[in-house]
Amino acid sequence: MKISVIIPTLDEAATLPASLAALAGQDVLTEIIVCDGGSTDGTLPMARQNGALVLSSPRGRGQQLHAGVARATGDVLLFLHADTILAPGALGAVRTALADPSLGGGNFRVIFDGPSAFAGWLTGFYAWLRRNGFYYGDSVVFMRRSVFSKIGGIKPIALMEDYDLTRRLERHGPTICIADPPVVTSSRRFDGRKPWRIFTQWVVIHALFHLRVNPDWLATLYKSTAHKPAAER
Query: pLDDT digits over 45-99, tens only?
Result: 999 999 999 999 999 999 999 999 999 999 999 999 999 999 999 999 999 999 9
Does residue 142 contact residue 94 with C-beta atoms inside 8 Å?
yes
- Determine if the pTM surpasses 0.85: yes
Query: What whole-number distance in Å separates Cα of residue 143 and Cα of residue 136?
Result: 13
- Tell me which fold the domain 3-188 belongs to: Spore Coat Polysaccharide Biosynthesis Protein SpsA; Chain A (3.90.550)
- Confidence label for 189 from pLDDT (cuts 50, 70 and 90): confident
220 pLDDT above the threshold of 80: yes
**Percent of the chain topping pLDDT 90:** 82
- Given this model, what pLDDT does residue 222 score? 87
Average pLDDT for the chain: 93
- Given this model, what pLDDT does residue 224 score? 81
Does residue 209 contact residue 140 with C-beta atoms inside 8 Å?
no
Query: What whole-number distance in Å separates Cα of residue 26 and Cα of residue 23?
Result: 5
Model confidence pLDDT, tens digit, residues 13-43: 999 999 999 999 999 989 999 999 999 999 9
- Confidence label for 230 from pLDDT (cuts 50, 70 and 90): very low
In the three-class reduction of DSSP (H, G, I as helix; E, B as strand; rest coil), residue 7 is classed as strand
